[in-house]
A and B are shown apart, each in its own frame.
Chain A
């Protein structure tokens, strides 16, 4: 009879459970909208649908005035499914689970002493579920923590938020560790007594699992602390740089001490001057000379056609300096010619070409005449008046006015 009753209860539970789970699928869009906002958008729900969702505790209404919201457990479920680290919760409530386990163990023992096998099985199954649940919660929490850690808290962009999230994660770990500490295996050993299946479930199995969780949590904790240190360091750098920049802008005349003059020069400012390890081709070793000769042969042939202006510049400079020297000599010789004109006793005219022929100078006639004329023209006007320059010239042909200068005569003006 009671067994039938139990079966009926079970089938009713199954039926209602499936119906309500189906509601999640049926209204998935609305529920996801509610997940991302604060309230459920009622306009897209019929009255009966709303009633069913409220009855299934998928939605709830905190009070008469407020809107309809997603039930916390559903929100948590969605966050779990999406691995949404901003909203994933860590439930470390071990104390209640322990209470439940104790009650179930007592109930299990009663069933055993009364020989109620079906109830015995039921209680053992629920115990297994509770233990799995407890394990699952730790595993989930550790998974969530690793996810956050490995993404460098990538779900928040600001460093300050990262620091807060890291802080929150560390607190969660502390709560999880506190939760683990509540599990007293001495007490559990006493509780399960000599029952083999209970001993396996609650002692050997659980102990193994919890010890893994403990190691996992410690590792995450260590890494979180490291990461926090890095965050803080980054934050400190950023503040230091903006602080110093602001200070230097406000105090344009700021000059720190000359650390290089201290008796103990701080390590950070001691930076040696650079040295370059230069080398040039050397021919004092046979082996090297052969190598250098090879290298020389490998050099590309200079192509004169594409000689660049830059490359030609030094040669040109040399030529022009040579020309300048010649020009200077010519100018000096012409100056001597002028001096000899001044020295003429009766201020007689002197032919430039005759002077050139009489002297050991070897200037071409044309250049000589040209320089004599340009020297005259280069004189200041007052000095020009002291001389009279007479050009012996003829017309080149009768068809134009080109005149050819054959010679010039220079004479002191009296």
Chain B
């Protein structure tokens, strides 16, 4: 158990462990025996190891859902929902600004400078970034583009969606928590029966037209 100390600490601190955020920790967690050991250790803390459906991220869940846990979860859910739209809009903005046709995925490298440059050249991207950065979730007070971008990346790093491998270098890597976010969005869509298409080719034309 001793060797899993740092991993346990990260998990207890509420971090999401994925191959990007902690490669060796994640590798240990893919071992069922290790997972059971950790679960046993967490039992008195009323926590257990959980993962998303694909098993691409691990995090801690409540073992017993008592009233306190439910209160905490409700608050957390509220926070998540408040930050959901800004996060989704950021994902879209990155995709468009960098001219990609896929969503930022775990392991993707993002450079704030590149992002700023793209937004600088394009008035509509610039405006969208401005709106996003001043949203209460990102909370930028600045009118400077670079400062806004910096703040957005900083907040995403604080929330565990991005990782900055070198503190002095402005290069970020997308973590597996993005997978969790996408799973959560899919879950909400399914639970609330929202009219949002996802899969088939047929739907794509009409949906693109709508968007």
Interface residues of A (CB under 8 A from B): 157-160, 232, 234-249, 255-261, 265-277
Contact = CB atoms under 8 A, between A and B. Distances in A.
Interface string B60-97: 11100100011011101100010011001101100100
B9 A259 contact: no
B20 to A, nearest CB: 17
A252 B70 CA distance: 25
Contact of A258 (B77, B102, B196, B199): B77
Given A238-B103, A245-B89, A265-B73, A273 B194 contact: no
Interface in B142-189: 180, 182-189
Given A160-B101, A239-B198, A272-B61, 8 more contacts: A159-B102, A237-B102, A243-B189, A260-B70, A265-B73, A270-B73, A271-B73, A274-B13
B81 A242 contact: no
A158 B101 contact: yes
A160 B197 CA distance: 16
Contact of A237 (B13, B182, B192): B182
Given A244-B88, A256-B191, A268 B183 contact: yes
Nearest to A246: B211
A241 B12 contact: no
Contact of A256 (B91, B92, B192): B192
A272 B196 contact: no
Contacts of B109: none
What are the 4 tightest A-B residue pairs by CB atom distance, in nearest-first order? Answer: A274-B14, A260-B73, A243-B196, A270-B61
Contacts of A232: 199
A269 B190 CA distance: 14
Contacts of A273: 14, 69, 72, 76
A241 B104 CA distance: 11
A258 B211 CA distance: 28
B189 A244 contact: yes
Contact of B92 (A241, A258, A270): A241
Interface stretch (B32-40, B45-53, B113-121): B45-53
Interface of B: 9, 12-14, 45-47, 50, 52, 59-62, 65, 69-70, 72-74, 76-77, 81, 84-85, 88-89, 91-92, 95, 101-103, 105, 180, 182-189, 191-192, 194-199, 204, 207, 210-211
Contacts of A266: 187, 191
A241 B91 contact: yes
B79 to A, nearest CB: 11
B73 A245 contact: no
A269 B102 contact: no
Given A270-B65, A271-B73, A239 B197 contact: yes
Nearest to A240: B198
Contacts of A269: 73, 77, 184, 187
Contacts of A239: 196-199, 204, 207
Contacts of B52: 268
Given A271-B61, A272-B69, A275-B45, A257 B191 contact: yes
B12 A276 contact: yes
Interface centre among B9, B14, B183 (most CB of A within 10 A): B14
B42 to A, nearest CB: 9
A259 to B, nearest CB: 6
B197 to A, nearest CB: 6
B85 A245 contact: yes
Given A246-B211, A260-B77, A275-B13, A157 B101 contact: yes
A267 B81 contact: no
B60 to A, nearest CB: 4
A384 to B, nearest CB: 49
A246 B84 CA distance: 12
A271 B85 contact: no
A258 B187 contact: no
Contacts of A158: 101
B184 A268 contact: yes
B191 A259 contact: yes
B12 to A, nearest CB: 5
19 contacts: A234-B105, A235-B102, A236-B199, A238-B101, A238-B103, A239-B204, A240-B186, A240-B189, A243-B196, A243-B207, A244-B84, A244-B88, A244-B194, A259-B73, A271-B61, A271-B76, A272-B14, A272-B61, A275-B45
Given A239-B204, A259-B191, A271 B60 contact: yes
Contact of A275 (B12, B101, B194): B12
B54 to A, nearest CB: 10
Contacts of A248: 84-85, 88
Nearest to A276: B13
Nearest to B196: A243
Contacts of B198: 236, 239-240, 243
A245 B62 CA distance: 29
Contacts of A259: 73, 77, 191
A258 B101 contact: no
A261 B74 contact: yes
